[in-house]
Amino acid sequence: MNDQLATLRAKRQQALEGGGPSRVEAQHAKGKLTARERLSILCDEASFQELGALATHHTTDFGMGEHRYPGDGIITGFGKIQGRRVAVYAQDFTVLGGSFSEVQSNKISRIQDLAIEAGIPLIGLNDSGGARVQEGVRSLAAYGEVFVRNVKASGVIPQISLIMGPCAGGAVYSPALTDVTIMVNGTANMFLTGPEIIRTVTGESVTVEELGGAWVHNATSGVAQVIADDEQHALSLTKSLLAYLPQNNTEDPPALEPYDPPERMDEALNDIIPADDHVPYDMRELLGLVFDHDSIFELHKEWAGNALVGFARLGGMSVGFIANQPTVISGCLDINASDKIARHITLCDQFNIPLITFVDCPGYLPGVEQEYNGVIRHGAKIIYAYCQATVPKISVVTRKAMGGSYVALSSKQMNNDVAFAWPSAQIAVMGAEGAARLLNRRAIEAAKDPVAEEARFVAEYKEMFYNPYQAADVGQIDEVIEPRETRPRLIRALEVLRTKVTQTIAKKHGLFPV
């Protein structure tokens, strides 16, 4: 038995060493941690239970028989994060560049299946040079096994992807299929075809960072939802994010013991809306005054800045928020903002997270480019997502709610549960100037002073529609409230709606306007 134990211990030690000291030093020289170092930070101390540590590939082509390492470049297993059970896999770049192999696929697929069966979140730490070319089509088929399980797990368990190094080719699709992708600035990159292939095919010259760096995918493409300063920050953000999400779709998100008084009313809210409705204000400041102190976790912060989405807490309860940002193109909805909002609605709905919508939107962004690129199709995503969401939905109209954007952004017709409005709310079919000209064109043209006549009609229109009272009169707004009352009103509404039950029509699935 002593010899057998010695053999086991030697193999375990080899697995712990990864690609060896020189490869570990090279990893550290790039400012990157090893896979095991990352897991030791992410998981609670001594909680990680590894599976498949001794698995190796069986490829002999291209001299691969001489390059076998226990674990084959990936670490999989179970652990705990802040006491909660999670499934984790981490690619080990020190072993064959973390290249994706049939063995890697088998190990990830195994942990995915167990995570689904156990109903626990799945977290993937990606750091790989791509498919293992020496394995040919087997490595490509291996990706497919992971993808199908990403889709199977979608809406069942939370899936979080961390990009902590290269992620190229087919490897990018797995993170794209998960719920939240976090990228490390400076070391992470994602792309389907690398700079060399692009240069050969199109003649374009681009660096790896310019093509698929963390800022590119957080600010330009919208592929990633969160950017981290470094690896430690990325792992810390993962822990924070997980605190807003349930273990699976059959549970409610975890609640904290209230630490911010539910009845707190901040007088600054009563003065946050400028007297001139053409002057913007910062919606982030408003959200910070309404939600529990320091509880906001924003997603897509750098992309489509005219809309804000993320998680926060109200009286300790986890909620998802959606808000227009007046400081960016006046908070208009456009193609990217529509995608951003629709995705977040769906994410919250699948994990039983109530939705709070703050509306200040003058409408959809006009323009030929927007129309040609399908703003109708993209805008319809918001409507579809709100209509199919069954979680509690509460809206607050702070200022403008014009035209189609009023309907789309959690109006009563979108199955909204409770609709509040501030006295500054302007709920109308269109802007006052355009409406006045449309409704009174002939009278304006016939007037001795057309400018003065138009101004009079504009003032009349504003008097009639640029307030929340007509909408409240016909039941489209449940209550007009003082801005400072927003926090306690929302908390009370959530307390009532937490037991909401909704019956849906049985169907295979609808056609989401992709």
DSSP character at residue 219: I
Judgement on whether residues 488 and 455 belong to the same structural domain of the protein: no
The token duo for 466 is: 């640029």
Q: Is 358 helix (H, G, I), strand (E, B) or coil?
A: strand
Residues 108 and 160 in one domain: yes
By residue range, what is the domain housing residue 290? 267-425+467-497
Cα angle, residue 433 at apex, residues 431 and 437 outer, rounded to 5°: 115
Query: Are both 318 and 212 inside the same structural domain?
Result: no
CA nearest neighbour of 289 among 320, 312, 255? 312
Query: Tokens for 336?
Result: 């990217």
Residue 503 lies in a domain: no
Amino acid of residue 388: Q
List, for residues 133-154, the tens digit of each pLDDT value.
Answer: 666 677 788 888 999 999 999 9
User: Torsions phi, psi of 362, nearest 5?
Assistant: -80, 0
pLDDT, position 323 = 98
The reply to whether 258 falls in a domain is no
Four-residue CA torsion sign, 110, 113, 117, 118: positive
Q: Do 152 and 287 share a domain, yes or no?
A: no
- Which class for 403: exposed (0-12), middle (13-18), buried (19 or more C-beta within 10 A)? middle
Asked if residue 377 belongs to a domain, the reply is yes
Q: Which long-range contacts (CB under 8 A, 24 or more apart) does 470-475 make?
A: 470/427, 471/421, 471/425, 471/427, 472/421, 475/412
Average pLDDT of every residue of the chain: 91
Is residue 43 one of the residues assigned to a domain?
Answer: yes
53 and 119 part of one domain: yes
Any idea what the Cα angle at residue 291 is, between residues 81 and 428, rounded to 5°? Answer: 130
**Is 514 a member of any domain?**
no
Distance between CA atoms of residues 304 and 106, nearest Å: 38
151, 197: one domain: yes
140 and 66 in a common domain: yes
**What's the confidence (pLDDT) of residue 125?**
97
Q: Are residues 438 and 420 in the same domain?
A: no
| CA distances in angstroms from 367 to 306, 335, 382, listed in the order given | 16, 11, 19
Residue 77 Cα distances to 84, 173, 203, 242, 419, angstroms: 14, 22, 44, 18, 45
Q: Of 498, 483, 494, which Cα lies nearest the Cα of 396?
A: 483
E strand or H helix that includes residue 51: strand 49-51
Same-domain status, 93 and 81: yes
Q: What is the CATH number of the domain that holds 184?
A: 3.90.226.10
pLDDT of residue 132: 74
**Residue 513 covered by a domain:** no
Q: Do 135 and 226 belong together in one domain?
A: yes
Number of domains in the chain: 3
Residue 508 lies in a domain: no
Residues 226, 202 within the same domain: yes
What residues contact residue 46 under an 8 Å CB cut-off, 6+ apart? Answer: none
Contact 507, 330 (CB under 8 A): no
Contact, 82 vs 239, CB < 8 A?
yes
CB 140 within 8 A of CB 104: no
- Summarised one tens digit per residue, pLDDT across range 400-431 is 999 888 899 999 889 999 999 999 999 988 77
| Pairwise CA distance, residues 253 & 319, whole Å | 9
Name residues of the chain where pLDDT drops below 50: none
Residues 61 and 132 in one domain: yes
Residue 290 and residue 172: Cα distance in Å, rounded?
37
Q: Does some domain include residue 254?
A: no
